[in-house]
Amino acid sequence: MLEMHGASRLLTSFNDAIPGYVFSGLFFTEKYLKKSPEKVRAFLKGLIKAFEYIQANEEKARKWLPKYTGVELEVAMKSALREYSNGREPEESLYRQQAIMMKIGYLPEKVPVEKITDYSFLPE
C-alpha cells in the first residue's frame, strides 16, 4: 500500500523474511469459554467460512475492503492477503516464533505451546 502511494519501496515481504510467522490470534478468557462455548464455536465457524470464501472468491472479497476498511479499491486489489487455514497453526511455527520472541527479549522463557493453545472450539 505504501509503495503504491510512493511512500516506500518493498525490499522483501515479512513472510519472505520470516516464513510462517503467526501475525495474530484469538483469545478468550476461561470465564467466557465456560459461560458461552456455543458462541465461541459459532464465531470460529463463521471466521473459517469467511476464510474459505476469501480463498474461493478473492477478487470479489477484495472489492468489499473499501466499504469496511476505507482502503481505496486500487490498493485493495493489490494488497497482499495472508494464507488462510483451518485456524490451526503448526506447532513448529509457534515454537519458531517463540524462539524469535525470546531472542529479542519479548518472552523471558520457553512456554510449552500445547499449554497455551486450544483448538477444541474450532470446527473439524
Render 61-113 in DSSP notation, one character per residue: HHTTHHHHH---HHHHHHS--PPP-SSPPPHHHHHHHHHHHHHTTS-SS---H
The confidence score (pLDDT) of residue 124 equals 82
Largest CA distance in the chain: 49
Dist. CA 120–CA 13, nearest whole Å: 32
Give pLDDT tens digits for 5-62. Answer: 677 777 777 777 777 777 778 889 999 999 999 999 999 999 999 888 988 998 898 8
Show Cβ contacts of residue 121 under 8 Å, excluding neighbours closer than 6 positions: 33, 37, 40, 41, 44
Long-range pairs of 41-45 with CB within 8 A, sequence gap ≥ 24: 41/121, 41/123, 44/87, 44/121, 44/122, 44/123, 45/123
Dist. CA 76–CA 60, nearest whole Å: 11
The confidence score (pLDDT) of residue 5 equals 66
What is the overall mean pLDDT for the chain?
86
Supply the pTM of this predicted model: 0.71
